[in-house]
Amino acid sequence: MAHCAAVPLTLSRKQERKVRTIVASALAGQAVVRRARIVLLAAEGLPNARIAERIGCSLPTVRTWRERFRRRGVPGLFDRRRRGRPETYGPSERLAVVATATSAPPEGASVWTRTSIAAHLAERGLAPSASTVGRILAEAKVRPHKVRGWLHRADDPAFWAQAGAVCRLYLNLPPGTLLVSVDEKTGIQAKSRRHPTLRARPGRDERREFEYRRHGTVSIIAAMDVATGQVIAQRIERNNSAAFIAFLRQLGQCTDPALRIHLVMDNGSSHTSKATRAWLAAHPRFTVTHTPKHASWLNIVEQWFSALTRRLLRRGDFASRDDLEAQITAYTVRYNRTAHPYRWHYDAEADHARYLARHPQPAPDTFTQAA
């Protein structure tokens, strides 16, 4: 018995482009891709029986999706949204879940969990399961298990002047002056693993024993020559004015007497104490520029501390405080062999714009600096 050939589908260029995009998409569902392939083959003029054979589906399936596309176009390839089971918890109950998750945790806890939220609501006549609480929170994009730190820096007109002073120093090194960035890194833990670390090998990452022994902490003070990038670092037993002044004396002794010494440092207590200020006043060879409050990252020696942490301290194994000090010294010596000035950029435009929005009066200029 002869069968009449089906009339080919006619696709506009836009429809064809969208259907081919569905076929090529790695995110489209398998069923939707199959429907799109049916439409493309039908547009080529293939009969329904040949399409069913090529796709591997039944003849009624081909007829269904040809007709669906003819009536509704590309949207017809997707399933219509079904009603499903009525919601067990309405807007009021969902609001109660969100309100609980965004309130202060119960006494004796610092964070809400799905289980604790469900138990808290059960005491008030609601009985959502922990998984239901999780779904409601996910829909509302509330994540009580996550926290993001932030620092509130109060508006201070002096910030711009101080930041600008530091940036100008980096951009224009004063002639006849050694520009030094100084800071301390305290509480470095000397820890050793109870069992040896197994180094990485092809097909296997490095393996480290979880348990470790503590051998105390070490604090260091470091100074970077901004012009060359070279660093001197030494151990200090206490981070106080006496240790800082002793370090400045040593810095002066190992520096060409013809050079003035200009220090860039933060507002730490040992840097601003009465004893330190008195010593600096008695030694006019030393001058100081302080970084603004909450902007110690403008102190370029912090870059060196960051590299020290990543390359040695974070995964190091130290048998004692003396061993930790020796390894820091070895790192510093190796670093100085190839030291070069740090190149970094500070763009204050965004902060400056926010400042101007809150303060209509003119503010100091901002700086984009590459030192």
Domain identity same for 130 and 44 = no
Same domain, 289 and 229: yes
Per-residue pLDDT, 163: 85
Which secondary structure element, helix H or strand E, spans residue 167, and what is its range? Answer: helix 157-171
Q: How confident is the model at residue 369 (pLDDT cuts 50, 70, 90)?
A: very low
Residue 125's pLDDT band, with cuts at 50, 70 and 90, is confident
Find, among 189, 185, 188, the residue nearest to 215 by Cα.
189
Q: What is the mean pLDDT of the chain?
A: 87
Q: What is the pLDDT of residues 247-259, one digit of tens each?
A: 999 999 999 999 9
| Domain enclosing residue 104, as ranges | 91-140
**Which pLDDT does position 351 carry in this prediction?**
61
Question: Is residue 148 situated within a structural domain?
Answer: no
pLDDT tier, 355 (very low <50, low <70, confident <90, very high otherwise): low
The strand pairing partners of 370, in sequence order, are 345
Assign 363 a pLDDT band (cuts: 50, 70, 90).
Answer: very low
What pLDDT score was predicted for residue 151? 72
Whether 289 and 165 have beta carbons less than 8 Å apart is answered as yes
Q: Are residues 108 and 32 in the same domain?
A: no
E strand or H helix at 127: none
* Cβ burial, residue 305 (10 Å; 0-12/13-18/19+): buried
- 27 and 121 part of one domain: no
Q: Report the alpha-carbon distance of residue 77 to residue 58 in Å, rounded.
A: 17
Name residue 96's amino acid: A
Q: What is the pLDDT of residue 343?
A: 78
Query: What percent of the chain shows pLDDT beyond 70?
Result: 89
- 224 and 304, same domain (yes or no): yes
| pLDDT tens figures, 150-205 | 777 666 778 888 888 888 888 888 899 999 999 999 999 999 998 888 888 999 99
- The torsion angles phi and psi of 284, rounded to 5 degrees, stand at -65, -10
Residue 3's pLDDT is what? 47
5 falls in which pLDDT band (50, 70, 90)?
Answer: low
**Same domain, yes or no, for 177 and 46?**
no
What is the pLDDT, as a whole number, of residue 367?
38
Q: Which two tokens stand for residue 177?
A: 């002056």
- Per-residue pLDDT tens for 33-90? 999 999 999 998 899 999 999 999 999 999 999 999 988 899 989 887 777 777 777 8
In a domain, 149, yes or no: no
Does residue 175 lie in a domain region? yes
What is d(CA 49, CA 56) in angstroms, rounded to the nearest whole number?
10
> In terms of domains, do 333 and 229 share one?
yes
Please report which helix (H) or strand (E) contains residue 232, including its range. strand 231-236
DSSP 77: G
Question: Tell me, what DSSP letter sits at residue 309?
Answer: I
CB atoms within 10 A of CB 71: 8
Q: Are residues 348 and 276 in the same domain?
A: yes
Range name among 133-147, 148-162, 213-227 with the lowest pLDDT average: 148-162
Please list, in sequence order, all residues whose beta carbon lies within 8 angstroms of the beta carbon of residue 170, skipping any fewer than 6 positions away: 179, 226, 300, 369, 371
Q: Which of 314, 338, 340, 339 is nearest to 327 (CA)?
A: 314
| Together in a domain, 317 and 240 | yes
Pairing of strands 368-370, 260-265: unpaired
Q: Comparing 27-41, 60-74, 132-146, 340-354, which segment has the lowest mean pLDDT? A: 340-354
> Please, are residues 300 and 371 in contact by the beta-carbon 8 Å criterion?
yes
- Domains contained in the chain, number: 3
**pLDDT class of 263 with cuts at 50, 70, 90:** very high
Looking up residue 286, the CATH number of its domain turns out to be 3.30.420.10
Q: SS3 letters for 239-274? A: CCHHHHHHHHHHHHHCCCCCCEEEEEECCCHHHHCH
Same domain, 52 and 134: no
Tell me which amino acid residue 78 is: F
Q: Are both 214 and 292 inside the same structural domain?
A: yes
| Section 269-281 average pLDDT | 95
pLDDT confidence tier of residue 2, bands split at 50, 70 and 90: very low
Residue 277: which residues within 8 A CB-CB, separation 6 or more? none
User: Which pLDDT does position 83 carry in this prediction?
Assistant: 74
Indicate whether 371 belongs to any domain. no
pLDDT band at 300 (very low <50, low <70, confident <90, very high): very high
Average pLDDT over residues 346-368: 56
Residues 53 and 115 in one domain: no
